[in-house]
Structure 1
Amino acid sequence: MTDFTARRTMMVDTQVRPSDVTKFPIIDAMLRVPREAFVPARMREVAYLGENLDLGASRVVLAPRTLAKMLDALDIEGDDLVLDIGPAHGYSAAVIARLAEAVVGVEDDPALVEEAQRALGDAGADNVVMVEGALSAGAPDHGPYDVILVEGAIEHLPEAITGQLKEGGRIACLFSEDALGVIRIGYKIDGRMNWRYAFNAGAPVLPGFERHAAFTL
């Protein structure tokens, strides 16, 4: 029988801590949330690999290092409301749930929303709600948000998303730039986005966040 607890500890010790993620709440959350419960059954054995898990259709579960470093840079606090765009089966939302007051996850597949909500319930993440809708539209009915996390690469960030960020709020995005992927943290100051470099990572561009999306009517 697979010892997922041991794999979880190894993930934190070999992928997260060496990436300069030292905040106890993040380490604790990643030690406690069973990543294998938030992937398709066929992928449970590879749930703790140090790379993105390919779900098909340009969707992935972000590598543990990438997620941990994004959370570290966002510095989520206990009274924050967080929008998690594209959490797939809900792993990132379950981790964030241990850091924030509440999490809203948005997915465009009703079956995936149902699966994620069930897995989150089983994990005791009762401060997470999953909603169905286009990823690029966010979840305006529940906002505005203190923090927004985008679970995949983007070429273009729709104004619909930045419009849901509170003044003084922050957002983590993986910008796809030629062959590079760059994580930047954006801060909303006086209604405008101010970006700073965080680190490099890679992922496919999320549907609805392609560059041409800026020019469609």
Structure 2
Amino acid sequence: RELEKRIEKIEDERRETLAKARAEGELEVAVLRSNIDALKSQLRKASQPLQAIKAIEEKMEKMEEKIEAPVERRQMADHGPSSAVDRQWSLGERVNVRTLDAEGVVTALGESDAEVQIGSLRVRARLSDLQKRQTADDKPPTTVRQQASSTVDRQSSSPGMEVDLRGLMSEDALDKMERYMEQAFLSGLPFVRIIHGKGTGKLRQAVREALRGHEYVKSFEEGGDKEGGEGVTVAKLKTG
């Protein structure tokens, strides 16, 4: 499809930009290490206290952590301030991705970018590329399934794209998950992330047993490496 080709091209360009930015960051760290090694040597020769040396090492570690963090925000410096970046986006919000000329649902938010579900595809887009839908059907669907229980309080807004069950006993966790799944389904979310953690695996097993054959669930799978791996289960929801 033409849309898929456009998405692949943009993703390739994004990866190239990130690789370049990361290489620049690694060079900065190398220079920093060299400078700090020289400074440490000077401090030792001057009989400075070890606390001063440790403080410098801690600063270096913090700099390395910043380099390891996502470097997409480097791209934003070239674009200047943007009202799209300043705007507070919400999980589950329907948006237009201007660079793709496509509509999708926000499924994850970062400091300078967002993950957007476009049909069956999941892409990353800069916040500056997002545009709020201005159409009359901007509101999330309140009733996707007409046969839902009449006692259910139909949601006018998304409950969020994930639910965290860590720290709960299996019974309490499953109750919380069930309430969340119902809200997510009625809000029309395409999929959800269920965070159960790794631990002994008992809660993970209980969650997946509950999802197997669940009335709202089309399929489920283990989260990807960037989603939490075996500590997360991603469930695709039915559309009615």
Same fold by TM-score, threshold 0.5 exceeded?
no
- From the CA coordinates, give the structure whose radius of gyration is larger: 2
Structure number having the greater strand percentage? 1
Structure having greater relative contact order (Cα 8 Å, sep ≥ 6): 1
